């Protein structure tokens, strides 16, 4: 019969849980209440002035509408892409639409950016 040290068993279980969490953490956003939200539950928005996989929100705009940052090793797929912004930052896009949060949203579920200036909209799942 195979005997496993309790410490090794605990370490192995922890490693497996960590790997499972990392696989799940690869998703850049999730759906909640029929809208896309980031990992903290903050509402995500799209900007009408953006192009397909191209952000046009910089400087003051990006301070008020922080881009949804992507890491260099981000895993993209058919729905999610990573674009390189003109400022060098990597940003997530959903079906080619760059995603942003809104500085005035203070807690998960806030949607104060909806309709701002007529060009900002809550990102919805396809």
Among 13-27, 29-43, 80-94, the range scoring the smallest mean pLDDT is 13-27
Q: Is position 12 within any domain? A: no
How many domains are contained in the chain?
1
Over residues 69-96, the pLDDT tens digits come to: 999 998 888 899 999 999 999 999 999 9
What are the distances in angstroms from CA 63 to CA 57, 91, 107? 9, 14, 17
pLDDT of residue 78: 84
Which residues, at least 6 apart from 35, have a Cβ–Cβ distance to it below 8 Å? 43, 44, 111, 122, 123, 124, 125
pLDDT of residue 6: 47
Residue 21 predicted with pLDDT over 50? no
Q: Is position 15 within any domain? A: no
Q: 2 pLDDT band (50/70/90 cuts)?
A: very low
Q: Is position 88 within any domain? A: yes
Q: Is position 8 within any domain? A: no
Q: Is position 22 within any domain? A: no
Q: Is position 18 within any domain? A: no
pLDDT of residue 27: 66
């Amino acid at each position: 019969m195979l005997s496993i040290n309790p410490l090794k068993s605990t370490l192995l279980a922890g490693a497996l849980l960590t790997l499972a969490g990392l696989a799940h953490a690869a998703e850049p956003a999730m759906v909640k209440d029929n809208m896309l939200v980031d990992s903290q539950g903050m509402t995500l928005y799209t900007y009408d002035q953006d192009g397909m996989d191209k952000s046009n929100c910089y400087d003051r705009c990006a301070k008020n509408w922080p881009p949804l940052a992507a890491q260099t090793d981000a895993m993209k797929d058919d729905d999610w892409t990573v674009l390189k912004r003109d400022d060098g930052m990597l940003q997530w896009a959903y079906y080619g639409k760059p995603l942003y949060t809104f500085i005035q949203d203070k807690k998960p579920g806030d949607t104060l950016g909806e309709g701002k200036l007529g060009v900002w909209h809550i990102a919805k799942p396809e």
